[in-house]
């Protein structure tokens, strides 16, 4: 009995520590592995990005990056050079594993294993979590197909890829890292994707009021800029409601300064709207409250008809004042926004109780 009491005390202390760490908020930007001209990014390019964002002041500390893949552009399974760049600049990483267009993630896991072998504890200290996939369910949905979003993956494939990732990191320095998945709010609230929610430790949600031109979802709210905040709040709350009590991180949001092609409802792209969206959603609702990766520091998607970068061409300065007004946070309280410790913590408690 003495051992059990001691084990329970140890587990309780450890759980408290992990929950405290889990309650920290991270904020940063998304980063692709190519430029808009399709050229590959290399370590110096990523170092520049990460160093630039860490110089920003007035809106909290930006020292986290969300990656879409572990693989260096135009290689089969070489380690993405963003990883050593993040370690060098003390930038935390939301690792990404690209899943669309394949029936396996072997090359992604090979690159991840190489990174583990090469960087060891330095990698473990940098990695916040692992996201297996990005908007794969959306691409396969009716909406994604209508919007020519590309090749996607179904829920069973995503669950398999999540399981494959857990097996790949088992017994490594990344074994205790939360494993999640990123998609649009529509994918998370689609009940046919519920098995993905069951499989993850956290949900990453991408929300863009700029593109929300379906007025049947929130009647009376066309997607003018004036409605950006209530539209964002509605989509985030819908995702929370579907999350089964798991953490919901904002993995992409932003407003474009430029848009080409057909209009998206009533939304207007401009630097002014981009700045005001940063202040209304970023400053007032996300920064310091919810793990957030803004879209984006530097444009990287060659196929996108919208430009979201918040820095100049040299990625040295922001294109607008990023400062949040004093007391800008309105401390929005969303329902069902419970936080939870990583799965590995509960695993430790269960293991101790079995002794």
Spot the catalytic one: 49, 108, 212, 252: 252
**30 in Cβ contact with 66 (< 8 Å):** yes
Nearest to 182 by CA among 164, 203, 165: 203
Query: Domain extents for the chain?
Result: 1-23+340-355, 24-338
pTM above 0.85, yes or no: yes
> Residue 191 and residue 185: Cα distance in Å, rounded?
12
CATH number for region 24-338: 3.20.20.80
What tokens does 37 get? 């001209």
Active site residue 252: yes
Looking up tokens 């197909």 gives: 145
pLDDT for the residue 147: 84
pLDDT for the residue 149: 81
pLDDT for the residue 3: 41
pLDDT for the residue 336: 60
pLDDT for the residue 332: 56
Length of the chain: 355
> Residue 213 and residue 147: Cα distance in Å, rounded?
13
Q: Which residues pair with 203 in a beta bridge?
A: 181, 248
**Per-residue 3-state assignment (H helix, E strand, C coil) for the chain:** CHHHHHHHHHHHHHHHHHHHHHCCCCEEEEECCECCCCCECCHHHHHHHHHHHHHCCCCCCCCEEEECCCECCCCCCCECCHHHHHHHHCCEEEEEECCCCCCCCHHHHHHHHHHHHHHHHHHHHHEEEEEEEECHHHHHCHHHHHCCCCCCCCHHHHHHHHHHHHHHHCCCCCCCCCEEEEEEHHHHHCHHHHHHHHHCCEEEEECCHHHCCCCCCCCCCCCCHHHHHHHHHHHHHHHHHHCCCCEEEEEECCCCCEECCCCCCCCCCCHHHHHHHHHHHHHHHHCCCCCEEECCCCCCCCCCCEECCCECCCCCCECCCCCCCCCCCCCCCCCCCCCCCCHHHHHHHHHHHHC
> Residue 127 and residue 216: Cα distance in Å, rounded?
40
pLDDT tens string, the chain, 355 residues long: the values are 454 444 444 444 443 444 444 578 999 999 999 999 999 999 999 999 999 999 999 999 999 999 999 999 999 999 999 999 999 999 999 999 999 988 999 999 999 999 999 999 999 999 999 999 999 999 988 888 788 888 889 999 999 999 999 999 999 999 999 999 999 999 999 999 999 999 999 999 999 999 999 999 988 899 999 999 999 999 999 999 999 999 999 999 999 999 999 999 999 999 999 999 999 999 999 999 999 999 999 999 888 999 999 999 899 999 999 999 986 665 555 666 543 333 333 333 333 333 3
pLDDT for the residue 350: 31
Spot the catalytic one: 49, 108, 135, 285: 135
pLDDT for the residue 333: 55
Active site residue 191: no
């Amino acid at each position: 009995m003495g051992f059990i009491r001691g084990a329970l005390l140890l587990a309780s202390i450890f759980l408290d520590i992990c929950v405290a760490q889990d309650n920290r908020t991270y904020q940063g930007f998304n980063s692709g592995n190519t430029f808009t001209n399709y050229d590959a990014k290399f370590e110096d390019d990523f170092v520049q990005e990460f160093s630039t964002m860490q110089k920003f002041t007035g809106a909290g500390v930006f020292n986290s990056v969300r990656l879409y893949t572990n693989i260096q552009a135009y290689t089969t399974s070489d380690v993405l050079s963003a990883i050593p760049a993040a370690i060098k600049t003390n930038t935390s990483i939301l690792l990404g594993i690209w899943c669309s267009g394949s029936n396996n993630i072997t090359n992604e896991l090979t690159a991840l294993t190489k990174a583990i072998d090469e960087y060891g504890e330095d990698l473990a200290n940098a990695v916040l979590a692992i996201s297996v996939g990005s908007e794969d369910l959306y691409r396969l949905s009716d909406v994604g197909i209508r919007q020519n979003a590309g090749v996607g993956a179904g829920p069973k494939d995503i669950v398999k890829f999540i399981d494959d990732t857990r097996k790949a990191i088992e017994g490594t320095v990344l074994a205790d890292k939360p494993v999640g998945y990123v998609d649009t709010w529509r994918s998370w609230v689609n009940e046919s994707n519920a098995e993905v929610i069951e499989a993850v430790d956290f949900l990453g949600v991408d929300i863009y009021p700029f593109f929300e031109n379906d007025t049947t979802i929130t009647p009376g709210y066309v997607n003018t800029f004036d409605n950006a905040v209530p539209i964002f709040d509605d989509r985030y709350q819908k995702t929370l409601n579907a999350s089964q009590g798991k953490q919901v991180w904002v993995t992409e949001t932003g407003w474009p300064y430029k848009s080409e092609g057909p209009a998206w409802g009533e939304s207007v792209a401009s630097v002014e709207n981009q700045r005001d969206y940063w202040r209304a959603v970023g400053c007032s609702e996300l920064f310091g409250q919810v793990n957030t990766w803004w879209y984006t520091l530097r444009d990287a998607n060659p196929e996108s008809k919208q430009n979201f970068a918040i820095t100049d061409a040299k990625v040295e300065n922001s294109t607008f004042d990023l400062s949040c007004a004093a007391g800008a946070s309105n401390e929005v309280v969303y329902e069902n926004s419970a936080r939870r410790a990583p799965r590995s913590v509960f695993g430790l408690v269960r293991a101790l109780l079995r002794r």
